[in-house]
Amino acid sequence: MHGIVLVELRRFVDQKFGGDTWKKLQQESGVGSKMYMAMDSYPDQEAIALVTTASRMTGKPVASLLEDFGEHLVPRFIGIYPMLIKPQWKTLDFLEHVEETIHKIVRRDNPGANPPQLTCTRVSPNEVVIAYNSSRKMCGLAKGMVKGVARHYGEEVALEEPTCMLRGGAQCKIFVKTAG
């Protein structure tokens, strides 16, 4: 997992739970008290251990923690990569361009970064379907990021995930509908 995600995970835990939660989380998950660097890469297993332990410590399901974290990530990523976002976009346009315009450039400019391959198809003027397939199986994060994008544009979205890797699907399919 790219360091930028882990740096943000720490910021998210500090903001949401405060105190020495992050320190405890590092100890309990067995990753040790290391300092994550935004430009480095770390084993996926560390991020997974941190989130799984956070779930155990807080009693919140992993999927819901990932969603909250995904929502937190979007304004941070937009702040870091504002040049990748076109001013005329709204929520569904943004989602349609995550793979070809955003993740592609992130991969090109950060050789250590390995964002998931997403396929986003506009099925109607107010609906897209995102096919998500990653060995990390973090569709919760993807759904949280969709909500973060909608929040950025002040739009309401309805999400449905009829097929999910965590329920035995070959990939996750996330339908995103806007009110308009």
**Which residues here bind ligand HEM, judged by CB under 6 A?**
1-2, 4-5, 77-78, 81, 84, 95, 98, 102-103, 106, 113-116, 118, 130, 134, 136, 138, 141-142, 145-146, 149
Find the shortest distance in angstroms from Cβ 170 to ligand HEM: 15
Give the nearest distance from C-beta 133 to ligand HEM in angstroms.
9
Residue 80: closest CA among 3, 151, 174: 3
Output the smallest distance, CB 180 to ligand HEM, in A: 19
CB of 117 to ligand HEM, least distance (A): 9
Instruction: State the CB neighbour count (10 A cutoff) for residue 110.
Output: 16
C-alpha span between 109 and 98 (Å, rounded) = 15
Q: How far apart (Å, rounded) are the C-alpha atoms in residues 89 and 153?
A: 9
Nearest to 115 by CA among 128, 96, 129, 98: 98
If the CB atoms of residues 48 and 57 are measured against ligand HEM, the closer one turns out to be: 48
Q: Which is nearer to ligand HEM, 59 or 83 (CB)?
A: 83
Tokens of 70: 């995904």
Can you tell me the distance from the alpha carbon of 44 to that of 82, in angstroms, rounded to the nearest whole number? 26
Judged by beta carbon, residue 24 or residue 127, the one nearer ligand HEM is 127
Closer residue to ligand HEM (CB): 81 or 121: 81
Q: Cβ closer to ligand HEM: 31 or 142?
A: 142
Q: Token pair for residue 143?
A: 């759904």
Q: From the CB of 19, what's the least distance to ligand HEM, in Å?
A: 27
Task: Reduce the DSSP state of residue 111 to 3 states and report it.
Answer: coil
